[in-house]
Amino acid sequence: MLHVDMADAGPLFGVAVGAVLATMGGLLGGQIENRLNRKEREQSAALLFGEILTGLRLTIRLADESRGRGDPYGPITMRVIKAAVRETQIYERNRETLFAIRDPQLRAKTHILLVQMSLTLEAVQEAQDAIKASPHAVEAAMAEREGSFNFALELYAELPPLIVQFEKLAGQTFEAPDVDLTRNLTPRPA
């Protein structure tokens, strides 16, 4: 049987305590590092989705404003709608990044809104293509185009609250492009 003299156990006890403390320190350090990495990934995802939603908000607003000038669905309006579709495609290419957001409701709202917006904007484009392709179905396609764009405007109203949530996670505001755009759109005196 192994017998340890308590007088000799002091150094052995110190080594054992040191090993336990080192192990606990390593585990604690790993946990802290994981938490920091998770927070950094969430902040990075919030930056990405905040920018996507802000870009979408700006392009939808521009499309609505261009609809009020000249031909409501002329080349300028349709180019701006195409730009809005590209914003939704950025989401599609980066959709898995949304999982870095820990709030499941925010993830779900963001995903649903971006999918609805994508489908709605594509419907506007498809209706426009149908109007150009078939003069016989113009009336129905025009109604579909108008209805789809109006639904995009309803969805547009859901963007600001989501952007605010992403601003909190990202630790920064996304309003600067909107301020600059507003300044650039102000009519100049003749």
Query: Domain for residue 24, yes or no?
Result: no
Query: Domain for residue 32, yes or no?
Result: no
Sort residue 171 into left (φ over 0), alpha (ψ -120 to 50) or beta.
left
- Mean pLDDT is lowest, of 7-11, 114-118, 127-131, for 7-11
Nearest to 124 by CA among 73, 62, 56, 187: 73
Separation between Cα atoms, residue 171 and residue 166, nearest integer Å? 8
What pLDDT, on the 0 to 100 scale, is given for residue 121? Answer: 97
Query: Domain for residue 147, yes or no?
Result: yes
Separation between Cα atoms, residue 65 and residue 5, nearest integer Å? 88
Q: Is the pLDDT of residue 173 over 70?
A: yes
What is the percent of the chain where pLDDT is above 90? 62
Separation between Cα atoms, residue 50 and residue 157, nearest integer Å? 15
Confidence class of residue 147 from pLDDT cuts 50, 70 and 90? very high
Confidence class of residue 70 from pLDDT cuts 50, 70 and 90? confident
Query: Domain for residue 1, yes or no?
Result: no
Give the CATH number for residue 125. Answer: 1.20.120
What pLDDT, on the 0 to 100 scale, is given for residue 188? Answer: 44
Separation between Cα atoms, residue 9 and residue 139, nearest integer Å? 94
CA torsion through residues 68, 74, 79, 84, sign: positive
Which pTM was predicted? 0.74
Helix (H, G, I), strand (E, B) or coil at 143: helix
Nearest to 174 by CA among 90, 61, 53, 12: 53
Query: Domain for residue 39, yes or no?
Result: no
- Mean pLDDT is lowest, of 4-13, 81-90, 121-130, 147-156, for 4-13
Q: Are 51 and 174 in contact (CB under 8 A)?
A: yes
Domain count, the chain: 1
Residue span of the structural domain in which 127 resides: 45-181
Q: What is the mean pLDDT of the chain?
A: 84
Separation between Cα atoms, residue 43 and residue 113, nearest integer Å? 20
